[in-house]
Amino acid sequence: MATLSDVARLAGVTTATVSNVLRNPGKVKPSTVEKVEAAIASTGYRPNLMARALAEGKSSMVAMVLPDITNPFYPEFVAVAERVARDRNYFLMVCNTPDRPDIGLAYLKQITGTLAGGVLVLDTGILPGDIEQISNRRAPIVLASNEAIHYDEQVPHVVLDLHRAGEIAGQHLVELGHREVGAIVGCGLAGRQIVRLGGFESALQAAGLSLAPEHVRDTPDTVEGGRAAAESLLAANANITAIFATNDLMAYGAAQVLAERGIAVPQAMSLIGITDIHLARDMRPALTTVALHTETMATLAINLLLDLIEDPGHQPRSVKVPEPALVVRASTGVVAAI
Amino acid sequence: MATLSDVARLAGVTTATVSNVLRNPGKVKPSTVEKVEAAIASTGYRPNLMARALAEGKSSMVAMVLPDITNPFYPEFVAVAERVARDRNYFLMVCNTPDRPDIGLAYLKQITGTLAGGVLVLDTGILPGDIEQISNRRAPIVLASNEAIHYDEQVPHVVLDLHRAGEIAGQHLVELGHREVGAIVGCGLAGRQIVRLGGFESALQAAGLSLAPEHVRDTPDTVEGGRAAAESLLAANANITAIFATNDLMAYGAAQVLAERGIAVPQAMSLIGITDIHLARDMRPALTTVALHTETMATLAINLLLDLIEDPGHQPRSVKVPEPALVVRASTGVVAAI
């Protein structure tokens, strides 16, 4: 394989000049650029840029690993994280690890400390022990899972009160007078969204109510999953007046089923989600939801990662997202008189 | 900075053993793993994995650069490309380059031939000349822009007949009897979607109709952009019976405005888009659109890139996506008698 020296020799210039042409051709005399480019073409030389980044001692690239790029929460998170990273002179790359923790782990092994100077991991089902081990050996990893509460304090992470998010959703329905409610519970790579459900149930219990098992549906955390769960809930429970979905995407699917069946929202059925993805605001009726502050979460998470890259001793190693907040839109209302 | 040799010396093992522990700890005696890990911790050694990937002669990472990860077309494309790449033993990383071609170019310079053995570029507004130059010097770049027809044959690319897509949309509305139609034209990093609009106009002209300038709205290629354009069209043109949007996402925004104003779709207004994103199928009424075959396009594009990486002389250097196809759903109907 041709080397930089081969190119320099053929072009009759120094290797430093070849290097300049590769990096800043605008600063080299055009006739020299031409000679060097001709030499590159005739030798078939491929500049060894990875070696150069290495020689310069650092890569300014960081990465995010996430489980489902077609779930709009993740692109919304990425868009913010990329902007914040760029403001701090880092590039951000994203790895989508669909459906399998082993693939997520393979990505993490492949990129951590090699292609990326640090990695943000979201909800990929990768075991915390594996993450800690890779992180200790190579480069910082921050977990911004939205079910992060299971993670060890050893692993830097973003703290998000999902129990409180579920509780807020439950309190809102209780205050509107709902007594018989259905729950759609997402199951994805982060596991069953049981923390959110637990918060929801605690709000019902505080009001002397309970969530009957036949009012709960586990389903994939997708539009289709929400549709299937809503159909099943409606088929089995004629008396429910509200549906809680642990994620907005499933609430969006449920809303379609309600519209198709002519069940008026919120007059005949209230509907509430969690997250506040853009779609929640955009759908009609617009979705009442509990905002998880995606922008803030993404900003905190990426800044924590960059802080840890720049200073391995950085403290604190975890950051807390502001408490979830109820966003009342058009999909919830007082329970209809029966 | 501590080296591999420092770790080996301290642990009392060979450097090859340290290397094994870093790579395949499962295959090394646990007591040795322990010794080596203690030595890593006490020396503060950070394994130079980038050098190793380099020494092994290749990176199995490829990249995609795209302009707006919150536009669902791109995540749908990424999900497919990642799966196809992984089936061929490549990892895929994604770089989101919002709104500015200079940022796209910076990403491309940063990753091409360094972090990524090849790059797929979508609609980022980066000049073809810049792309060709980087590609020639470093590693293959394939363009899968959905406005790719402006690109030079020198740059490997995916050919997509967007003129035909617009024409199909126009023919469908003409066949349904529409005579006065509005057009919402997306303007993004790929430029104004003028090829699609041109195809649409040619279908009207073939039927002896024309698209009056006051029936056309340029707008950002987003939900909000579609909303604003629809509002403006409706305010100015009481007599239109159909709206064509050059992209589904804007049609989705337009559908919201129609629903809010109580304008029945398709009874009082037909609506058609282009692309066939998941949302087109999921929205209600479901959107009639012209499918660009995103899955096929992504599969062809990533396979072309990998072929070029594995064989720089690979032919052909461009691939053609099957002709766009009309997908009739619930949002279009025969024109209402006036």
**Residue-wise pLDDT tens digits, B67-109:** 889 999 999 999 999 999 988 888 899 999 876 788 888 888 8
The question of ipTM being above 0.90 is answered as no
Q: Residue A262: list chain B partners with CB under 8 A.
A: none
- Does the CB of B103 have a partner CB in chain A at under 8 Å? yes
Residue B123 has pLDDT above 70, yes or no: yes
Under the banding of pLDDT at 50, 70 and 90, the label for residue B155 is confident
pLDDT for residue B46: 60
CATH for the A4-55 domain, from 3.30.70.1350, 3.30.70.890, 1.10.260.40, 3.30.230.10: 1.10.260.40
Do the domains at A61-161+294-322 and A162-292 have one common CATH topology?
Answer: yes
User: Which pLDDT score is estimated for A49?
Assistant: 45
Nearest by CB to residue B110, choosing from A79, A91, A223, is A91
To which CATH superfamily is domain A61-161+294-322 assigned? Response regulator (3.40.50.2300)
Of A52, A68, A282, which is closest to B223 when you measure between CB atoms?
A282
Average pLDDT, chain B: 87
The per-type count for chain B, helices as H runs and strands as E runs, is 13, 13
Class of residue A262 by CB neighbours under 10 A (exposed 0-12, middle 13-18, buried 19+): exposed
- Identify the CATH number of the domain defined by range B61-160+294-322: 3.40.50.2300
A26 CA: distance to closest CA in chain B (Å): 13
Each residue's pLDDT tens digit, A156-165: 999 889 999 9
* A200 Cβ contact list (under 8 Å, min separation 6): A166, A167, A169, A170, A183, A211, A244, A246
Cβ distance of A50 and B53 shorter than 8 Å:
yes
pLDDT score at A263? 95
Q: Would the CB atoms of B61 and A111 count as touching at under 8 Å?
A: yes
Q: What is the pLDDT of residues A241-276, one digit of tens each?
A: 999 999 999 999 999 999 989 999 999 999 999 999
- Run of H or E residues at A241: none
pLDDT digits (tens, 9 = 90+) for B129-153: 888 888 887 789 999 876 645 556 6
Which of A47, A70, A107 has the CB atom closest to B75's CB atom? A70
Distances (CA, A) of B291 to B146, B166, B187, B230: 12, 11, 19, 22
**pLDDT at B244 > cutoff 70:** yes
3-state secondary structure at position B61: strand
Flag whether pLDDT at A47 surpasses 90.
Answer: no
Domain ranges of chain A: 4-55, 61-161+294-322, 162-292
Model confidence band, residue B168 (pLDDT cutoffs 50, 70, 90): very high
Residues of chain A above pLDDT 70, percent: 90
What class, spelled out in words, does domain B162-291 have in CATH?
alpha beta
Asked if the Cβ–Cβ distance from B49 to A95 is below 8 Å, we say no
Taking the Cβ of residue A87 and every Cβ of chain B, the question of whether any pair is shorter than 8 Å is answered with: no
Largest CA distance in chain B: 91
Inform me whether the pLDDT recorded for B57 exceeds 70: no
Instruction: Mark yes or no for CB contact A92/B95 under 8 Å.
Output: yes
Is A293 near chain B, with CB under 8 Å?
A: no
The CA radius of gyration of chain A, in Å to the nearest whole number, is 26
Cα-Cα-Cα-Cα dihedral sign, residues A299, A280, B145, B81 = positive
At residue B23 the predicted structure's pLDDT band, cuts being 50, 70 and 90, is low
Distance from B188 to chain A by nearest Cα, in Å?
16
Rounded CA-CA distance A14/A242 in Å is 75
What is the share, in percent, of chain B residues with pLDDT greater than 70?
Answer: 90
Tell which CATH classification among 3.90.45.10, 2.160.10.10, 3.40.50.2300, 3.90.1720.10 matches the domain A162-292.
3.40.50.2300
Helices (H), chain B: 4-11, 15-23, 30-43, 49-55, 73-87, 101-111, 128-137, 162-175, 194-206, 223-236, 248-260, 278-282, 294-310
* HEC letters along A137-195: HCCCEEECCCCHHHCCCCCCEEECCHHHHHHHHHHHHHHCCCCCEEEEEEEECCEECHH
pLDDT above 70: residue B242: yes
pLDDT tens digits, residue range B40-56?
878 767 654 444 444 45
